[in-house]
Amino acid sequence: MYVGRYAPSPTGPLHFGSLVAAVGSYLEARRQGGRWLLRIEDIDPPRERPGARDHILRALEVFGFQWDGPVVFQSRRTGHYEAAIQDLLEQGLAYPCGCSRAWLRARGHGSVYPGICRRGTAPHPEGHAIRVRTHDEPIGFHDRRWGPFAQRLEREVGDFVIRRRDGFHAYQLAVVVDDAAQGVTEVVRGEDLLASTPRQIHLQRLLGLTTPSYLHLPLVRDAEGHKLSKQTGAAPLDLERPARTLWDALAFLGHRPPHALREAPVRELWTWALAHWDPTRIPPPRCAVSPSAIPVPTADTRS
Ligand code: GLU
């Protein structure tokens, strides 16, 4: 049974790029007769905006998405993330780290953590992060749109943070624990997370979890070429005329619904989309960039 999911963080209201990711994952789940789960990734309170969670749920309803089962909130699942961390610590696969970003930067280290605390760390007044050990064997997977993609984590990312110094669990860990717990078989999301996937596969292997398949969708960019982002204040979805915006999202994903459906009730556009969705129509990656040319979000910025 195919199980897909949509997993927005409540760092702001949904924007057109968020809608594209939701539409792609939803239609792919339904095309395969699968379930589509909704998970609110609310594990980073310092970055969350008041009201964003309710806006997201309302927007998904207005746009006519129908998710299966109850909405899962990551803020209620921290015990599971902590259990995974204890498991990794007990196996010697993770370790406490007292190096702050500022401290590393001042010593000329870039975004790749050089493993300073691998052999132990002195108690630190501001507490410790927990990092997971990486290795230099390539970790690869076949993305359904991008094709093969691999990283050597130790060299390209370094041991990455799974629990931050402020005590919050990192996205990379929570997403892996939850995708497995919810039985997700395919992750369909924006391609900004392509370069996070080898880290997630690494964690799946260390924790003995199954690796789902992956499909990374094209990103919606603004006029300057930056990804639309909730955190940088991309325009919220207009909830007044959902059919027009949904039509645009389908067009962005390579589909051409009849023009008249822009003015029809949104459920008529869904009927068309469910009958015509074809993932091979999604535009291919814009150019053949080598994996190392893709900006890799650092463990700390994604965590
Ligand atoms: N929570 C992430 C976001 O809103 C998406 C995570 C994922 O799909 O793996 O960007």
Percent of the chain with pLDDT over 70: 94
Ligand 1 atom closest to the CA of 5, numbered from 1? 8
Ligand 1 atom closest to the CA of 41, numbered from 1? 1
pLDDT band of 297, cuts 50, 70, 90? very low
Looking at residue 229, its pLDDT comes to 86
Calpha distance 187→214 (Å, rounded): 5
3-state DSSP call for residue 113?
A: strand
* The pair of three-digit structure tokens given for residue 38, joined into one six-digit string: 């909704």
193 lines ligand 1 (CB under 6 A): yes
Catalytic position from the list 30, 230, 255, 302 = 230
172 lines ligand 1 (CB under 6 A): no
175 lines ligand 1 (CB under 6 A): yes
Distance 173 CA to ligand 1 centre (A): 12
Looking at residue 294, its pLDDT comes to 42
25 lines ligand 1 (CB under 6 A): no
189 lines ligand 1 (CB under 6 A): yes
pLDDT band of 287, cuts 50, 70, 90? low
Out of 189, 203, 230, 303, give the residue to mutate to test ligand 1, the one with the largest number of ligand atoms within 8 Å of its CB.
189
Residues, the chain, total? 303
Q: Which of 210, 169, 168, 167 shows the shortest CA–CA distance to 187?
A: 210
Percent of the chain with pLDDT over 90: 83
In this prediction, residues 174-182 reach a mean pLDDT of: 98
37 lines ligand 1 (CB under 6 A): no
pLDDT band of 178, cuts 50, 70, 90? very high
Distance 8 CA to ligand 1 centre (A): 5
Ligand 1 atom closest to the CA of 196, numbered from 1? 9
Beta strand ranges found along 8-166 (DSSP E) = 35-40, 72-73, 94-97, 129-132, 139-143, 147-151, 160-163
Q: Which helix (H) or strand (E) holds 268?
A: helix 266-276
Distance 32 CA to ligand 1 centre (A): 22
What confidence tens digit (pLDDT) does each residue in 36-84 have?
999 999 999 999 999 999 999 999 999 999 999 999 999 999 999 999 9
18 lines ligand 1 (CB under 6 A): no
Distance 27 CA to ligand 1 centre (A): 17
- pTM here is 0.92
Is the C-alpha dihedral spanning 101, 39, 36, 17 positive or negative? negative
Catalytic annotation present for 230: yes
Q: Which of 217, 174, 182 shows the shortest CA–CA distance to 199?
A: 174
